[in-house]
């Protein structure tokens, strides 16, 4: 029996149990990694495309996040705990701009795998890199506004409805289907609870994020972490779509035969710029980008929800 026909749709597990961990519900057969298409990877994990069929009928595919067994064994427990937490959080979320939960199941190697809605083959970061390679210039303003609106809806849901800070917004954590037919935020594994003041008040909570997208208060540890941390990173994600660059990583353009020399990288300038709004080359942006520029430079740090929702 192949991996696809071995799949069984799970019934709702009893309270306190989950598929693959003592549940009496039918098991989910997660194929071995070599039998799935690799979609991407993150810190300590890989993401695969799991094609499904039920009694010969094609079903919607899933994206399966698995622990990378080649990673350092001493870190594997941490990555597994993070995946467990992501599954727990994702199961409570339901929004068209957040990748949906499907199952949390045990693979044949004994590790737990998170099965999610398949949001698309490519991340926004993949599309940025492709556009950069082809020298196509900034994404059209209408496309950036569409991404901004859908991301904003997802973040508003996380912040206002679920009291959660995503904690790692960036282009690689936004998945795109087709020609921007759907836009979904993924990877909630490092999200943090927010209180009624939109503040991370738990002294044990630790903001992880990714360095180029971190706000100043997270980099320096000199202020409270609030929902503005996500909004700052959200603004930088839109900045990526206009510059096709990683924030603050100002590498000189190299020709195809040369390679990057670390000695040419100004590390001091990079760290001094972190947590600030990076510059834009206004000569590359025609008047169609005016609404985005207004949004990025509004009084609310890198964003004004109401302005964006009326765009």
Within 13 Å of residue 148, how many CA atoms lie on the same side as its CB? Answer: 33
Instruction: Return the pLDDT at 188.
Output: 93
Q: What is the average pLDDT value for the chain, to the nearest integer?
A: 82
Q: What is the pTM of this model?
A: 0.82
> Which pLDDT band, with edges at 50, 70 and 90, does 298 fall under?
low
pLDDT given for residue 7 in this prediction: 39
Alpha-helical runs (H) found in the chain: 73-90, 124-133, 141-156, 216-220, 228-243, 267-273, 290-296, 305-309
| CATH 3.30.70.3040, applies to 122-297 | no
Q: Residue 151 has which token pair?
A: 């991301």
CATH class, 36-117 region: alpha beta
Sequence length of the chain is: 311
Answer whether residue 53 shows pLDDT above 90: no
Q: Decide if 236 contacts 274 (C-beta within 8 A).
A: no
Burial 174-211 (b: 16+ CB within 10 A, else e): bbbeeebeebbbbbbbbbbebeeebebeeeeeebebbe
SS3 156: helix
222 is catalytic: no
Name every residue whose Cβ is closer than 8 Å to that of residue 37 and which is 6 or more positions away in sequence.
48, 49
Is-same-fold flag (36-117; 122-297)?
Answer: no
- Taking only the tens place, the pLDDT of each residue in 124-158 is 999 999 999 999 999 999 999 999 999 999 999 99
Higher-pLDDT residue of 98 and 307 is 98
Percentage, residues of the chain above pLDDT 90: 47
Can you tell me whether residue 53 is helix, strand or coil?
strand
Percentage of the chain beyond pLDDT 70 is 81
3-state secondary structure at position 11: coil
4: helix, strand or coil: coil
Say which of 2, 109, 168, 261 is annotated catalytic.
168
Domain ranges of the chain: 36-117, 122-297
Q: What is the pLDDT of residue 221?
A: 82
- Using 50, 70 and 90 to split pLDDT, how confident is the model at 106? confident
Structural tokens at position 80 = 């597994």
For residues 184-189, give the mean pLDDT: 94
């Amino acid at each position: 029996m192949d991996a696809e026909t071995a799949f069984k749709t799970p019934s709702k597990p009893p309270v306190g149990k989950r598929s693959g961990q003592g549940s009496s519900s039918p098991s989910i057969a997660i194929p071995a990694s070599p039998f799935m298409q690799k979609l991407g990877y993150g810190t300590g994990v890989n993401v695969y495309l799991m094609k499904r069929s039920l009694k010969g009928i094609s079903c919607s595919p899933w994206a399966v996040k698995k622990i990378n067994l080649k990673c350092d064994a001493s870190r594997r427990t941490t990555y597994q705990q993070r995946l467990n937490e992501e599954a727990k959080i994702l199961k409570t979320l339901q929004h068209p701009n957040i990748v949906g939960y499907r199952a949390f199941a045990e693979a044949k190697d004994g590790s737990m795998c998170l099965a999610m809605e398949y949001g698309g083959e490519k991340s926004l970061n993949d599309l940025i890199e492709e556009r950069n390679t082809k020298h196509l210039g900034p994404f059209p303003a209408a496309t950036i506004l569409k991404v901004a609106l859908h991301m904003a809806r997802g973040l508003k849901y996380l912040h206002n409805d679920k009291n959660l800070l995503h904690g790692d917004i960036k282009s690689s954590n936004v998945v795109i289907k087709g020609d921007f037919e759907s836009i979904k935020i993924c990877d909630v594994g490092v999200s943090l609870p927010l209180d009624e003041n939109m503040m991370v008040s738990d002294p044990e909570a630790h903001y992880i994020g990714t360095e180029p997208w971190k706000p100043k208060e997270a980099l320096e540890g000199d202020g409270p972490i609030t929902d503005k941390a996500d909004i700052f990173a959200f603004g930088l994600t839109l900045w990526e779509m206009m510059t096709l660059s990683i924030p603050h990583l100002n590498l000189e353009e190299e020709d195809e035969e040369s390679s990057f020399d670390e000695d040419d990288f100004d590390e001091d300038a990079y760290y001094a710029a972190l947590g600030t709004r990076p510059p834009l080359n206004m000569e590359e942006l025609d008047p169609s980008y005016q609404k985005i520029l207004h949004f990025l430079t509004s009084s609310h740090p890198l964003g004004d929800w109401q302005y964006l929702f009326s765009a």
